[in-house]
Chain A
């Protein structure tokens, strides 16, 4: 048993945490294998009269205005949405942890400079910053979207990590490691980082939900994942015109967003309670 991973075990024991984790796992599994079992989500079938069909056995979620299978697009969209969310969050956590560790451990001028930078960055509305950059692009590769979202999502995380490091610095085992002559890099990576994993995990899990919403929002505005690649936000955009006559093409991707974000948040909240029982 590794004490740093204790919160995971405890989150699993709470009903909300377990529900969230199981649903997330099911979504991940579906996103991984689903697209291979379903019709092509992008190609437009060359069949007249197949557009905007209601749910049926052949098309459980119906078809959209271009006759494409909505279930197939929702499942393939999950792959893209989750990939963007997970990679962007991984990037944010890495940046946030690095900055927080350096600022908290070095203290002094480095700390002051980094934290003022973070304060400044937090004052800029993230969505507008992203809109500004994305609007200038004709097409956006998924990698660029990940980089943009990831590199603008670490500010709050760096503060959490820094706060945690400031607390840990007072622990006598950190002083003991210093008294032992352990090099600074070693103290940061071996002593401080593992002890901040709990709060980092919480931030990451809740961050996944945030990024899914953000990416869906950007795609809905036509600035995220661009058609014809399926993304949940983009599907709702497409469905806007036919929302009254063929609501399924918008409802199902909407439900996918709600369920995914909800389960990520459920699991994240359970993790937070496990990391800090007082905050429960």
Chain B
């Protein structure tokens, strides 16, 4: 498999209002192979959305990406691009789907025009050609009666339809990577499944790599090839999906699984993780999960690096050294 995206030591900072800076994303590294789906899982505030925005330099000021961070698309250093060169990457190499389809479409434009915008931003084609490609895209994402939907305004469509339109827009310039930031959070459960199915089908037919950002472990199973769990601005565990579900190793990941209801097996009480996610201003020294961790020990006062648990499986916990986190 060929590597299409490589993120190394990504750090994003915001002013803390007292002259210093906070790092809501603090040293995130991951890579994406052609045709694979990587799920980035974490609670709100863990930095997963900022991570996705940084891929295209979309961090809103006064936030900034710290030097020393790297985002590579093949041999292009994305973070070094500015102006027109950067614009040519946006949408063309990486397409993005945003969380809320209600607010991510411009209310004053017909959906056909919004898809055509993505096409004409990157390809020199006529209006008629852009329109016919828009029509094909609407069909591809499963919108019935696509011809007349081209001339609909966003408010005339349901949430699920709008999210399909968002996907069509993200696909307009035929990117090789699709970043989906909580693509189903704002939708009904039944519609969620349909949207995920569309994404999966497109990944297969177009050979795209998908970065799926979600807080919902339930939609990860069976859809992602690998999972990276984020906590407090860092990746704390990374493994192939099947392995992570079979043997979650980081105490935080184990806590996440214990707090999700299961449909199979004996009925058990859900065990929530004690406390709440601290904001970046209150991250503890050492292991950031330490204050909430039932397994914290002396060594947790030192910040752990990502340590191997087994091949392809790493976690940011000193217990990896002893294998004691299993169970």
Chain A interface (Cβ < 8 Å from any Cβ of B): 1-4, 107-108, 169-173, 175-183, 186, 190-191, 194-195
Q: Are A180 and B90 in contact (CB under 8 A)?
A: yes
Q: Are B90 and A172 in contact (CB under 8 A)?
A: no
In the complex the two chains form, what is the Cα distance from A77 to B228 in whole Å? 74
Q: Are B104 and A3 in contact (CB under 8 A)?
A: no
Knowing A2-B108, A186-B117, the reply to whether A181 touches B96 (Cβ < 8 A) is no
Q: Which of A3, A169, A176, A191 contacts B169 (CB 8 A)?
A: A176
In the complex the two chains form, what is the Cα distance from A170 to B61 in whole Å? 11
Q: Are B104 and A176 in contact (CB under 8 A)?
A: yes
In the complex the two chains form, what is the Cα distance from A36 to B166 in whole Å? 57
Which residues of chain A are near B155, meaning CB under 8 Å? 3
Q: Are A194 and B117 in contact (CB under 8 A)?
A: no
Number of A-B contacts (CB under 8 A): 82
Q: Are B90 and A178 in contact (CB under 8 A)?
A: yes
* B49-69 near A? 1/0 per residue, CB < 8 Å: 000010010101100000000
In the complex the two chains form, what is the Cα distance from A177 to B121 in whole Å? 10
Q: Are B117 and A4 in contact (CB under 8 A)?
A: no
Interface residue SS majority, chain A: helix
Which residues of chain B are near A194, meaning CB under 8 Å? 108-109
In the complex the two chains form, what is the Cα distance from A194 to B153 in whole Å? 14
In the complex the two chains form, what is the Cα distance from A180 to B168 in whole Å? 11
Q: Does B191 contact A (CB under 8 A)?
A: no
Which residues of chain B are near A107, meaning CB under 8 Å? 61
B240 to chain A, nearest CB (A): 29
Q: Does B255 contact A (CB under 8 A)?
A: no
Q: Which of B117, B122, B166 contacts A190 (CB 8 A)?
A: B117
Which residues of chain B are near A176, meaning CB under 8 Å? 96, 98, 104-105, 166, 169
With most chain A CB atoms within 10 A of its CB, the pick from B96, B105, B106 is B106
Q: Which residue of B lies closest to A191 (CB)?
A: B106
* B100-133 near A? 1/0 per residue, CB < 8 Å: 1001111111000000011001100000000000
Knowing A4-B108, A194-B108, the reply to whether A179 touches B100 (Cβ < 8 A) is no
Q: Are A175 and B58 in contact (CB under 8 A)?
A: yes
A155 to chain B, nearest CB (A): 25
Q: Does B183 contact A (CB under 8 A)?
A: no
Q: Which residue of A lies closest to B86 (CB)?
A: A181
Q: Are A179 and B166 in contact (CB under 8 A)?
A: no
Q: Does B173 contact A (CB under 8 A)?
A: yes
Q: Does B88 contact A (CB under 8 A)?
A: yes
Q: Which of B122, B153, B166 contacts A3 (CB 8 A)?
A: B153
Question: Given A178-B58, A195-B106, 16 more contacts at CB 8 Å?
Answer: A2-B108, A3-B107, A172-B100, A175-B53, A177-B117, A179-B90, A179-B96, A180-B90, A180-B95, A180-B96, A180-B121, A180-B173, A181-B122, A182-B117, A190-B117, A195-B108
In the complex the two chains form, what is the Cα distance from A2 to B88 in whole Å? 31
Q: Which residue of A lies closest to B117 (CB)?
A: A182
17 A–B pairs (Cβ distance < 8 Å), ordered by A: A1-B153, A3-B108, A4-B108, A107-B61, A170-B60, A172-B100, A173-B105, A175-B60, A176-B98, A178-B90, A179-B56, A179-B90, A181-B91, A181-B92, A191-B106, A194-B109, A195-B106
Q: Does B87 contact A (CB under 8 A)?
A: yes
With most chain B CB atoms within 10 A of its CB, the pick from A3, A176, A178 is A176
Knowing A175-B98, A186-B121, A190-B117, the reply to whether A180 touches B169 (Cβ < 8 A) is yes
In the complex the two chains form, what is the Cα distance from A31 to B107 in whole Å? 38
Q: Which residue of A lies closest to B155 (CB)?
A: A3
Q: Which residue of B lies closest to A174 (CB)?
A: B106
Q: Are A181 and B108 in contact (CB under 8 A)?
A: no
Knowing A3-B107, A171-B103, A195-B108, the reply to whether A183 touches B121 (Cβ < 8 A) is yes
Which of chain B's residues 185-213 have a Cβ closer than 8 Å to chain A?
none
Q: Which residue of B lies closest to A184 (CB)?
A: B87
Which residues of chain B are near A171, meaning CB under 8 Å? 103
Q: Which of B56, B87, B95, B166 contacts A183 (CB 8 A)?
A: B87
In the complex the two chains form, what is the Cα distance from A1 to B103 in whole Å? 19
Q: Does B41 contact A (CB under 8 A)?
A: no
Q: Which of A1, A170, A173 contacts B106 (CB 8 A)?
A: A173
Q: Are A190 and B109 in contact (CB under 8 A)?
A: yes
Which residues of chain A are near B117, meaning CB under 8 Å? 177, 180, 182, 186, 190
With most chain B CB atoms within 10 A of its CB, the pick from A173, A183, A191, A194 is A173
Which residues of chain B are near A182, meaning CB under 8 Å? 91, 117-118, 121
Knowing A182-B117, A183-B87, the reply to whether A177 touches B56 (Cβ < 8 A) is no
In the complex the two chains form, what is the Cα distance from A181 to B53 in whole Å? 13
Which residues of chain B are near A1, meaning CB under 8 Å? 153
Give the top 4 A-B pairs by smallest Cβ distance, nearest first. Answer: A181-B91, A181-B90, A180-B91, A179-B96
Q: Which of B60, B100, B109, B118 contacts A181 (CB 8 A)?
A: B118
Which residues of chain B are near A179, meaning CB under 8 Å? 56, 58, 90-91, 95-96, 98
Q: Which of B87, B103, B118 contacts A173 (CB 8 A)?
A: B103
Q: Are B98 and A172 in contact (CB under 8 A)?
A: yes
Q: Are A180 and B172 in contact (CB under 8 A)?
A: yes
